[in-house]
Structure 1
Amino acid sequence: MSQPINQPTCAQALSAAQALGLDRLDAQLLLLHALGKPAIDRAWLLAHDTDQLTDEVAQRMRAFSLRRARGEPLAYIVGSKEFFGLELQVDARVLVPRPDTETLVHWSLEVLQAPAMTERPQILDLGTGSGAIALAIAHSLQAAGRPARVVAVDASAGALAVARENARRLQLELEFSQSNWLDEVGGHFHLIASNPPYIASADPHLVALAHEPLGSLAAGPDGLGDIRQIVAKAPEHLAPGGWLLLEHGYDQAAAVRGLLRERGFAQVQSRLDLAGIARCSGGQWPG
């Protein structure tokens, strides 16, 4: 059955979204989501730009566009975000995984591949959120045929529910624990990795992140409140020679390295993200 003549075409729906302030890629991804098509089908939109949308699809697209125009992350609207080659389900209970955090995963895998590392490392992801870091590490080690125990910790029951579902869907074996950082964590680990909150509580950039959980973003007047807690307590949970790796803000590397050195960590260093910014810092516990 032909569609009513007043229904927009694919091209018109994209133009309407862009008129609301959306960039073209976001508009295309939202239209594909409204149509029930995968994100890789952008070429389909070009080939069908004169196709009219059904009323249901047009309404969905309008609603999605308005949500995006109000600043809601694209990942929350479409319900997923790719991270380290994995498609993760996300919603407002967790932060949207950022490409910058892949720097932390790469460094973690480098540490775990060191010749001195035990054959079955114990790995802890603090503040796991969607499970992005823990799942990326577990997936990479599984693909390499490397046995490991990966524990994902978060203070939020909602975040742990999201992470558990991602692990189930990706068929990856993780252990989950609800804890405020290391308060309820037992045992010793060869690697503790964390992407904690690190934005100063008065930072004006938080306004643009209003749709994401504030507790996963801000950490006191200088943004280092949670990092201080982790650095102070991590040695109690590290095996001799174990590593603590932390993601932090673009201008916090020197301060985080200072905290690590003061606590007694060795081999303290930072790693750059793809933009050349010192995005992660860490050190080895001498034991």
Structure 2
Amino acid sequence: MYRTLMVPLDGSAFGEHALPLALTIARRSGAAVHLAHVCVPPSPHDLVHLLHPDSDDLSMQARIRLYLDQLATNLSERWEVPITTSVLVGPVVPTLREHALALGADMVVLTTHGRGSLARLAVGSVADALVRSLPLPVLLTRPRDGVLDLLESAYERVCRRVLIPLDGSALAEAVLEPAVAFGQLFDAEYTLLQAVDPPLLGYALTAHATGIDQRALDVWREESLGYLEQVAQRLRERQLQVKTDIALGYAPQAILEYAHEHTFDLIALATHGRSGVARMLMGSTADAVVCRSSTPVLVIRPPAITERREPAEHEMLERIPT
């Protein structure tokens, strides 16, 4: 169960859209919420910093601390949840990562822009970098329409239907326990989904597909449902409500369409954590779902992958902008 949830904030109303979901989870689980803000140190070559090396930094930190403390006081009284705060200094992603680990956070909850891959490649993404570097679940949510009133009880986020895409690998199944832990707070129903492009008969000289291989499709359907039922049965033995289904098509699109058509409250999936050239060439189902989903997404990067991060990636994370 959850004890501490960390919510990174940047001081904007945009970042605060993660709070209703974090506070809902905290209230239902008895967890504490920790609000964190990172002040990025100015460049040593900045003229203002050279003339006033301390005053601006201290003034900014004081304003941020006041903002966090006031927010924590108001929310704690309204939601009846213990809330603590921290103002940190350093490069954003490595500082948040180390703070989450030192804090013993069970989950990080934050708002994501949901930008496409080209925009993210150009400007960077704190959410994306945290997902690839943290060995704990990251819950990403998109901003809701309208003005956010954090003191309104209507903003409690209830998640009773959880979609868990699987591809048959142990990596994908790593999300099962975090998804179940989340869903149990809401007595949720789980759906295990496998999506794949339909097998084709072959290609003509014009490079157009000649049709779907129905025999191969039937074999795949039977094997996929058999696999999903095996996983589902393990969960049902724990008295959980679990359904299984399959979807044809390009995996990210099939998952998103299925989630929309069946009105899920959460999508939970694991990511392989590729970065740089590997991601550009190979893509990622998790990336595409996070970027395009209007539904909150719970992402877990299995520890075995987190531990294999290359030293060069640590240096890259320090260059991620706020």
* TM-score, length-scaled by structure 1: 0.34
Of structures 1 and 2, the one scoring higher in RCO (CA 8 A, sep 6+) is 2
* TM-score, length-scaled by structure 2: 0.31
